[in-house]
Structure 1
């Protein structure tokens, strides 16, 4: 069996994109995601994203995300930019589209084309990410009170941490540290991801403030481990940093990730806007 795919990345957060607009995701998508995502022995990626038929009137498509372990995610900020770029490139009816509505499991998202990057394979997109929440029920989180979950104590990996928990359509736990590069994420990441306080597991961002408009971030994603970038994680990190008084809301905050830079702004009403690149790596066929 031959499976056509496009590999794309946003700030090196790479996924394998499948055109599933006609038949929906393959029946064996969980095992397929595990197989295709395995680095060194397969295509290799942080997961698989299926581009499916739209569900909302006016939407161009629906994004379905499957992590490297086969679990399904709710939302992916880097992934949705790449979906928009794929549609603009591959769908003749959307060629040159400046605004796209894309459905996700956390609701429809509006994306706006910001121009071509330095490479013809790259586009710059702005995403209206929606409103963030600090309440326990929205993550969900237990044993931490109802919230707002700002600057709380969490015991993990053998020590106490000060954390801020943020839902941006998927759950995040943000930790401020003095030096993100010195962390052994492979050792401590799973303790956060599978902490009993997060019954559906959690994505964890470790952030280092570099100024009122700059953060440095590393992320441990549920279902994928450490990735080089996380769009929703960058949004959660800026939301947490503004709540903690480390960054100013209403201005662009540059988040330095291992794979590049995302620009995040907190808008009135705790809405979030993200701007970043979407890059086509290659297209091909996998033999299954």
Structure 2
């Protein structure tokens, strides 16, 4: 079904977050609500709208072209996560957002998901499998990789200039289905000095832009077989956010690579909004996959008024 309407008047919405990464969520099973970029940006505006790092539309996969394509190989992916950055641009997916999306489907009565149950979700970065846990949700984020694999053995593939830091820093670009560029910093004072109200300049920049993560290893790096890092992030199309799920996976992947063969598979990533779990494991496709775990909260529900229509 092709979207035919831009009016959101009377449509119910939710507001949720995962470790402070917050989203406006709408249920549009039939794919009947067309969202213009300026409309999304207005809804995500923290003064003139509801406020959010992004907007997520829940659509049955059969009613959106990207979802229809996924159903051919993954018929269990009934729901598609139609994700937009806060500026209205379309993004591949969001690690925190997919957990909040699953929780939104549960709270809206659109799916049933008990502890230990799994839900298959379609995204522009492929199918993701979400499992409900005792204290939130875990997501098989799929395989990770280097954006520039030919340069990865050197440990860096780009330079990042950041306001507040005196010199450009080497960085490593990681794909989690969306692009990330990870910078290692020496300590928490350096991370605090980074001014992320200004977008970092990445040279060379990945084709469609990139999210930039600044990671500081704990001392010691590994405790009880768990690697520990702290992270801040500037998200493409959004700015600094309290958390980024795919960014936490990318930062853990880069740090683990830099640490060498003895680095652990389990990581705790401290972001300003809380702590995310990241685990690396062999996937059934023969490639290494990444699991992201953490909380998901719906904080409010409501109905759109006339003033928030396009």
Question: Cα distance, 1:42 vs. partner?
Answer: 1.6
Aligned to 1:256: 270
Give the alignment of 1:49-128 within 5 angstroms.
49-54=56-61, 55=67, 56=71, 57-91=75-109, 93-96=111-114, 98-115=117-134, 117=135, 124-128=136-140
Query: 8 Å contact 1:208–1:216 — kept in the other structure?
Result: yes
Per the normalisation by structure 1, the TM-score is 0.87
Query: 8 Å contact 1:127–1:274 — kept in the other structure?
Result: yes
- SS at the partner of 1:35? helix
CA distance in 2, matches of 1:103, 1:149: 35
Deviation string, structure 1 residues 73-102 (Cα, Å, up to 9, x no partner): 001000000111122222355253711000
Matched, 1:31 2:67: no
Give the alignment of 1:1-288 within 5 angstroms.
1-24=9-32, 26-54=33-61, 55=67, 56=71, 57-91=75-109, 93-96=111-114, 98-115=117-134, 117=135, 124-136=136-148, 147=152, 150-154=155-159, 156-157=161-162, 159-178=167-186, 179=188, 180-187=191-198, 189-192=199-202, 197-210=205-218, 211-212=221-222, 213-245=227-259, 249-268=263-282, 269-287=287-305, 288=308
Q: Which has the larger radius of gyration?
A: 2
CA distance in 2, matches of 1:220, 1:154: 15
CA distance in 1, matches of 2:175, 2:154: 10
Compared CA separation, residues 201 and 93, structure 1 to 2 (3 A): closer
Compared CA separation, residues 150 and 34, structure 1 to 2 (3 A): same
CA distance in 2, matches of 1:40, 1:149: 45
Larger CA deviation: 242-251 vs 39-48: 242-251
Question: Cα distance, 1:152 vs. partner?
Answer: 3.2
Query: 8 Å contact 1:136–1:148 — kept in the other structure?
Result: no
Compared CA separation, residues 94 and 248, structure 1 to 2 (3 A): farther
Compared CA separation, residues 247 and 46, structure 1 to 2 (3 A): farther
- SS at the partner of 1:186? coil
Unaligned runs of 5+ in 1: 118-123, 138-144
Question: Cα distance, 1:4 vs. partner?
Answer: 1.8
Unaligned runs of 5+ in 2: 1-8, 62-66
Deviation string, structure 1 residues 59-86 (Cα, Å, up to 9, x no partner): 2310011111110000100000011112
- SS at the partner of 1:48? strand
Query: 8 Å contact 1:250–1:267 — kept in the other structure?
Result: no
Larger CA deviation: 207-216 vs 146-155: 146-155
CA RMSD, 1 decimal: 2.2
CA distance in 2, matches of 1:86, 1:256: 24
Query: 8 Å contact 1:10–1:276 — kept in the other structure?
Result: yes
CA distance in 2, matches of 1:46, 1:153: 26
- Number of residue equivalences: 270
